[in-house]
Structure 1
Amino acid sequence: MKTFLKVFGGLVALLLIVIVAGGVLLGMFFDPNEYKPEIKKLALEKGGVQLEIDGDLGWSVFPWLGIEINQIKVSYPGKPQLAELNQAQVSVELPALLSGNVKMSSILLDGLTLNLEKNKDGSTNWAVSGAGQQASGTVETPTPNAAEASGGAAIALDIESIAITNGNISYVDAAAGSKVLLKNFTMTSGKVTTGAFFPAELSFQAEQYQADQKQMTVDAALKAQFFLDLANQQYQIKGLESTLGLTGAPFNGKTVNVKLDADISSDLNKETATLSDLSLSAANLIASGDVTVTSFSKPVITGNLKVAQFSLQELLSSLGQPAIETTDPDVLKAISFNAELGGAPNTLGLNKMSLKLDDTSFNGNLAMNLATGSIAFNLKGDELDADRYLPPAKEQPAQASAAGSDKSAGYSKEPVVPVELLKGLDLDVDLGLKKLLINGLTLSNLELDTSAHGGLVNMSKINADMYSGTLRNSVVIDVRKSPTRFHVKKNIKGIQIGDLLKDMADTDRLTGTFNTQTDITAQGESVYAIVNSLNGNSNVTMPDGTVKGIDIAQTICQGFNNVAALGVNAEQVDRSTPFADLSSNFKFTNGVVSNNDLITKLDAITLRGKGKVSLPAQNLDYRLGLTIEENLFKKTCAVNNNLEGVEWPVNCKGSFDTEPAKLCRPDASVLKELLKQKAKKQLEGKLMDKLGGGEGSKTEDAKKLLKGLFGN
């Protein structure tokens, strides 16, 4: 056995001597530059690429297996140049490699330039041509490396340093008219050793163009300590410090500095990754947090996020954006956010969310399924004065227009419903607000519940309490089949109109309790289709109310007496008009609104109305009738018995753009008949006086004569 070992050892030593001697002789007597033609031919035949080797080639074999390349260019036949390399150097120590380790001298890659071009027809200069593909037309499946196949230890790395300098990449898309340049790419590292931290730095400049006009420039720099444990599949980045400087058109000439610091670690065997001590800043916006991910196939994400209080207006200014115009200039200056990360596997969950918007606090939760993209979101707030955030009122210039110039040519048939967007929604939203002030109105206990799945959008709650009453509304939009279908329900109950008008228009001329119920359906994607398919019912009631500042009934009474010259008592004791039992039902039929039972009582007068409003034709035909009831107006305005029980109609007929004075006019035929009857009675009285009255033949003849003149 000893003899065998001695012989085997001698053979191994002899083999090493032969390899060393062969390497020395190969380096001394064979010049790789003599094989440039063969290398070019081999590259074209096997890889389908054209090589231009303008510089020298160099190699070494033992103890360092190394290669040096200078000034090489690569392209596919008949296509623009793809790549260019100024210099590359790399060498591996053979004895270490034979023992399962990778020990390398410094790796140098200088002047690498990639030119990626996509033509208008979609062809590119980096696609492999048919000639360069394998003869069999099949793609070989990569086989596991020896360490993976045998289950042995991973190869250990020992690299003196890495230097990539003067790198440039350009991507041109002729179809989109865009171009992206990556310039002056540089990466350097210290000694790279498996199982130990090593330093590395990286920097580059990127430019983005559109139609040959530079849109944005990015200056990036990064440095950190890196850790590689290939055997245990553990990787770390410690003390990451990265900066971005953004300039260009999106920022209106300003430079935006972004800074990202963090520690990152990952254990692939245990399927864990951690982002700790995260700090992200952009102008006055500072975010921080910690994130841990486990089980990569169905990740479980935990951690926390925080955005420190910042001014949105200041941030917009730093980004070169215009400020948001608000009625109150002191809003949008104190915004902050906090949340905990957690949830079921394969879910991104924001729990215990806290959002602060100036004086308003919101709390809630959000969960997004990473596989399906579905979102469940709830957010509840306390008090929000939305009027402070609305744009300041601006005086609108008066627009002169000729009569009839505003008449609509018809409703648009262009689609306005985003069908595909609605089909793609997969969410459940629950929003609430204790108190909202908007447009001078005060609403409380607001609720908005919405679900959207598979093209069915159901806003089941659009609720609020306001002015001693309630709003209970719902909307369903169904885009699962064409045409889109809508179903709207509104239920408003017990609203005190006086309080509402006081806040909305600073007047309380009208008071009362307002109620309405509406149930309407429609279908279609355009305004035209929706208007022409409105169907359903609505009703309005106001059981009691008052119009302040004027006694409408008495005013109408005086107007009647003036018309009939029956005498007027101008005194008004109570300048208000109580009314009762206002009610009306409306029916929608393909966009035409019919109403036949409008009725209310204004003290001594009953107001009735009926008619139609055609939304598709944009016109109306409606009749209002005022009837003086018997034995009324006895206190301040005596009505002649001749007017009692007579309906005084007002006809409203015409298109929506008709001037109001021309749209509604009193029915002249009724007025004419009333005046006719009055004249008849007056003439009859005078004739009776002349004839002395009684039942004689002269009196009867006079009555027949009047009947012939006035027809009755």
Structure 2
Amino acid sequence: MKALGKILGLVLLGLLLIIVALGFALTHLFDPNDYKDEIQQLARERAGLDLAIGGDIGWSLFPWLGLELHDTSLASVATPEQPLANVRMLGLSVRVMPLLRREVQMSDISINGLNLTLVRDAQGRGNWEGIGQPEGAAARAPAEPAEPSPDGQRRPVALDIDSLTVRDARVSYQDASTGQHLSAESIELSTGAIREDTPVDIQLKAFFGVNQPVVRARSELRATLHLDTGAQGYRLEDLRLNGEASGEPFDGQTLNFSAQGELLADLASQQAEWRNLRFSANELRGLGELRVENLDSVPRFNGTLSVARFDLAAFLRGIGQTLPEMADSTALGNVELVSKITGSQNSLALEDLDLKLDGSQLRGRIAVTDLSAQALRVNLTGDRLDLDRYLPPPSEEQQAATAARDSEVQTEAILAGGGTTPLPEQPTRHAWSEEPVLPLDRLRQLDVRLDLGLNELTVARLPLQKFSLKARGAGGQLQLEELRGGLYGGQVNTSANLDLRPAVPLLTLRQRIAEVAVEQLLEAQNEQVVVQGRLTLDANLRTRGNSQRAWVDALAGDISFNIANGVLVEANLEEQICRAIALLNQRELTTQPSGRDTPFRQLGGSLTLQDGVASNRDLRASIPGLTVNGRGDVDLRVLGMDYRIGVVIEGDKSDMPDPACQVSQRYVGLEWPLHCRGPLELGARACRIDQSGLGQIAARLAGDKLNEKLQEQLGDRVSPELQEALRGLFRR
């Protein structure tokens, strides 16, 4: 037996020596470079590859099957003029014996100078098409499946690689149909030993670029990879990604970013998950979880997102985004959010959103249902929001125009103060700005649906309670379906439509104001309070253009209004009537007027607007002891008025303030004329007794007095018909 064992040992030793000798002979006597043409032809026939080997082929046979290629390029046989890959050097080696057991044991894999270029032409064809499709593949029978394991399942290939090193690699993608160009350059990849059930350390560095818009980014990734090739499961734990980006969207600024967490991929179920995500972008910090499904078809993702409190305005400025000037310099300085997140390749939604913005809290949903069309959907409710903080402050032009108008009004107010001075002149300065208001091009592209409900909204200094807003926009039309809220003890309800399809936009507006305190409304707009009371108004207006001036110049429509239980501020009609009566009585006033305001029960009428001028012919006010009728025009273009008012004394219901203007029965029923002219802000302070109308009253009173004397002298000798004719004669 010893002899047999010795013989077997010698035989095995002899066989090993023969194999070694054959391997030495093959590797030293056989030169694969002599067969480059055959190798290239084999690659073309079996793999659809156009292979060009410019350098020498280095190789070894046993115990390592080694291969080293230099200056090699690959292309699809369908597009040989468009190389798919170039590599300066590729070196790898595989142990021969483990291959027989379907085990891949490799030494270091080294790739240097890889340049992978993917190109899609204008017809949508890629330069990678045809690779892996041998010539005549359709005519040949399919390859035999791999030998199954004893349990009937296909035996997976077991990997065992000492390391993988990639140096100075580049990957680019170009699409001629869109002009898009993506690239990854200076790629450096290194790993530890790659083995089943053994953690693999990975380090990757690269520079990324895109041309639409131009963006450059540097990134570095470190992680530990866990492989389960049998179950097609992969896990990157302790993942750390960081880098920085710059380019056109950042306007010379730099975005520093980082992300950490654990990334899992299950290719059997086509799912991936990012757990314990922690990320940052400049001063922004957040946490989250992300899950992706349908990796092989139409991926969809969902997860959670939490962003800690940060200064949004500073963040946007830090990445080169120019913010419009806002009235409050601290606006957008305090933002945080918590939300669920869902989406796909062309959609993104924040569900169950809890957003805190500068002391306001909003909840609901914000979604872009179609990223390519920028289809925005917003459904939010909240406690309060001061929109004025985010609107632009008045421009220098507006401030100068306001100051000039205020100066003009103050001058006219001084002239109007005594009530006996001449009427103020009509203003001539246009009161509105010609600056464009709306970004028309952007609005024409809008696809938006907005539903907003707030306990309180402040806009244009108006505090709206229980506010509700519903708006829609698509196809160049913006519709304000509802704007409703409580205001100063009353209600406001507005609807509007902006048609952007014509070159000059068309705007229509319907508004209902019910029981709103008009003096608070005027104060909120920094307007002079000329009237107090509860305002009810119905308006149906239309205009066109894209500036305040254009809107006012083209303004047309109808308005009806009524103010109940109010006061004409600094408008003492009693004083004006007293002066008129004293003038007719040819007496001088001996006392100063005791009050400056005139209370009324009702004040109402209607306005017809055309080209920015509002005409009224039916003003009527009910004042204790008086009835007021009015007619005239209000020029909204210059905020001026030219108005005539008739005051009718209903009877001697109270003592007049001065003996010189005691009301006798003959004054009852007469319409005492007032003329109001000048800046609209002066209100009743721009009103005077109409001297021409007062002369007509004097003539009528003289006729009445003469008629009384005739009646005394003639008595019953004059027929009633003649008496009425005489009265009419003297009243003309």
Q: Alignment partner of 1:232: what SS?
A: coil
Question: Do the aligned partners of 1:294 and 1:301 also contact (CA within 8 Å) in 2?
Answer: yes
Call closer, same or farther: CA 1:558–1:685 in 2, change over 3 Å: closer
The residue type equivalent to 1:635 in the other structure is: M
Deviation (angstroms), 1:114 = 4.4
Call closer, same or farther: CA 1:196–1:477 in 2, change over 3 Å: farther
Deviation (angstroms), 1:224 = 0.4
Deviation (angstroms), 1:280 = 0.3
Call closer, same or farther: CA 1:586–1:510 in 2, change over 3 Å: closer
CA deviations over 1:513-567 (Å, ceiling 9, x no partner): 0112345789999999999999986532212311222314533764798799897
The aligned residue for residue 337 of structure 1 is 337
The aligned residue for residue 241 of structure 1 is 240
Deviation (angstroms), 1:235 = 1.6
The aligned residue for residue 99 of structure 1 is 101
Relative to the length of structure 2, the TM-score reads 0.67
**Partners of 2:272 and 2:25 in 1: CA distance:** 51
Name which of structure 1's ranges 20-29 and 260-269 shifts more when overlaid on structure 2: 20-29
Deviation (angstroms), 1:405 = 10
Q: Which residue of the other structure, out of 581, 586, 590, is the alignment partner of 2:602?
A: 581
CA deviations over 1:453-487 (Å, ceiling 9, x no partner): 99997755422212111123345789999x99988
Residue 607 in structure 1 maps to residue 603 in structure 2:
no
**Partners of 1:143 and 1:610 in 2: CA distance:** 97
The aligned residue for residue 11 of structure 2 is none
The aligned residue for residue 114 of structure 2 is 112
**Partners of 1:177 and 1:635 in 2: CA distance:** 87
Question: Do the aligned partners of 1:456 and 1:476 also contact (CA within 8 Å) in 2?
Answer: yes
The residue type equivalent to 2:463 in the other structure is: T
Q: Alignment partner of 1:499: what SS?
A: helix
Q: Alignment partner of 2:225: what SS?
A: strand
**Partners of 1:16 and 1:373 in 2: CA distance:** 71
Call closer, same or farther: CA 1:535–1:511 in 2, change over 3 Å: closer
**Partners of 1:460 and 1:638 in 2: CA distance:** 57
Deviation (angstroms), 1:164 = 1.2
Call closer, same or farther: CA 1:367–1:502 in 2, change over 3 Å: closer
CA deviations over 1:376-410 (Å, ceiling 9, x no partner): 7543322444455555566447479xx999799x9
1:43-82 aligned at under 5 Å gives the runs: 53-61=53-61, 64-73=64-73
The aligned residue for residue 286 of structure 1 is 285
**Partners of 1:365 and 1:416 in 2: CA distance:** 26
Question: Do the aligned partners of 1:415 and 1:525 also contact (CA within 8 Å) in 2?
Answer: no
Call closer, same or farther: CA 1:443–1:530 in 2, change over 3 Å: closer
Call closer, same or farther: CA 1:57–1:452 in 2, change over 3 Å: same
1:499-648 aligned at under 5 Å gives the runs: 499-505=520-526, 508-518=529-539, 538-552=559-573, 554-555=575-576, 558=579, 571-585=592-606, 597-601=618-622, 604=626, 606-609=628-631, 624=644, 626-629=646-649, 631=651, 635-636=656-657, 637=661, 645=670
Question: Do the aligned partners of 2:656 and 2:663 also contact (CA within 8 Å) in 1?
Answer: no
Call closer, same or farther: CA 1:91–1:141 in 2, change over 3 Å: farther
Q: Alignment partner of 1:160: what SS?
A: strand
The residue type equivalent to 1:267 in the other structure is: D
Call closer, same or farther: CA 1:147–1:379 in 2, change over 3 Å: farther
Question: Do the aligned partners of 1:116 and 1:125 also contact (CA within 8 Å) in 2?
Answer: no
Question: Do the aligned partners of 1:327 and 1:390 also contact (CA within 8 Å) in 2?
Answer: yes
Deviation (angstroms), 1:684 = 14
The residue type equivalent to 1:234 in the other structure is: G
Question: Do the aligned partners of 1:74 and 1:81 also contact (CA within 8 Å) in 2?
Answer: yes
CA deviations over 1:620-668 (Å, ceiling 9, x no partner): 999755354465797145689699645859799xxxxx9999xxxx9xx
Q: Which residue of the other structure, out of 185, 194, 197, is the alignment partner of 1:195?
A: 197
The residue type equivalent to 1:499 in the other structure is: Q
Deviation (angstroms), 1:16 = 12
Deviation (angstroms), 1:308 = 1.5
Where does the alignment leave 5 or more consecutive residues of structure 1 unmatched? 1-14, 653-657, 687-693, 696-709
**Partners of 2:135 and 2:430 in 1: CA distance:** 74
Identity of aligned residues (%): 27
Where does the alignment leave 5 or more consecutive residues of structure 2 unmatched? 1-14, 405-426, 707-712, 715-729
Residue 309 in structure 1 maps to residue 309 in structure 2:
yes
Call closer, same or farther: CA 1:507–1:488 in 2, change over 3 Å: closer
1:135-284 aligned at under 5 Å gives the runs: 146=146, 152-169=154-171, 182-207=184-209, 216-248=215-247, 250-251=249-250, 253-270=252-269, 272-284=271-283
Q: Of the two structures, which has the highest relative contact order with CA contacts closer than 8 Å and spacing of 6 or more? A: 2
**Partners of 2:604 and 2:109 in 1: CA distance:** 90
The aligned residue for residue 6 of structure 1 is none
The residue type equivalent to 1:182 in the other structure is: A
Deviation (angstroms), 1:206 = 3.2
**Partners of 2:139 and 2:580 in 1: CA distance:** 98
1:384-395 aligned at under 5 Å gives the runs: 384-391=385-392, 395=396
Name which of structure 1's ranges 187-196 and 329-338 shifts more when overlaid on structure 2: 329-338
**Partners of 1:139 and 1:535 in 2: CA distance:** 79
The aligned residue for residue 379 of structure 1 is 380
The aligned residue for residue 445 of structure 1 is 466
The aligned residue for residue 497 of structure 1 is 518
The aligned residue for residue 409 of structure 2 is none
**Partners of 2:48 and 2:611 in 1: CA distance:** 68
Deviation (angstroms), 1:313 = 4.3
Call closer, same or farther: CA 1:239–1:358 in 2, change over 3 Å: same
The residue type equivalent to 1:245 in the other structure is: E
The residue type equivalent to 2:289 in the other structure is: D
Q: Alignment partner of 2:99: what SS?
A: helix
